[in-house]
Amino acid sequence: MEIKNRKLFKELIKKLTLELLDEEGLEEISTTAGVDGYSTPFAFGKMKKKKKKNLEKQTGYKFVSEAVDKKDLEQITKLIRNVVGDILRDIWLKRTAWK
């Protein structure tokens, strides 16, 4: 069967589908076209004050500012330095066991 137009193509698809259903004993065929898409276009945008206040009323929760202060950043840097220093010290001490 030569595919010359849309009608012949649809007929070919129907024919092949029916053959597949008959041969395999399948009862149904599903595709990803039936699944709703995941769409959040404004998920990470800025929220207006009125909408934020309305959401706080509905949920009973308050929005929290998660900004990192200079003091917090210094503590994090100090902690990372200590951990990395400990790792390097352990590697230095155990280097002879690798040979």
Q: Is 75 inside a domain boundary?
A: yes
Range of the domain at 96: 68-99
The tally of domains found in the chain comes to: 1
Q: Is 6 inside a domain boundary?
A: no
| CA separation for the pair 18, 24 (Å, rounded) | 10
60-94: per-residue pLDDT in tens?
888 877 788 888 889 999 999 999 999 888 888 88
Q: Is 86 inside a domain boundary?
A: yes
Q: Is 81 inside a domain boundary?
A: yes
pTM of the full structure: 0.34
Share of the chain above pLDDT 70, in %: 72
Q: Is 34 inside a domain boundary?
A: no
17-31: per-residue pLDDT in tens?
777 777 666 666 666
C-alpha Rg value of the chain to the nearest Å: 31
| CA separation for the pair 77, 71 (Å, rounded) | 10
What does the block give as tokens for 80? 């990372």
**Stretch 2-14: mean pLDDT:** 79
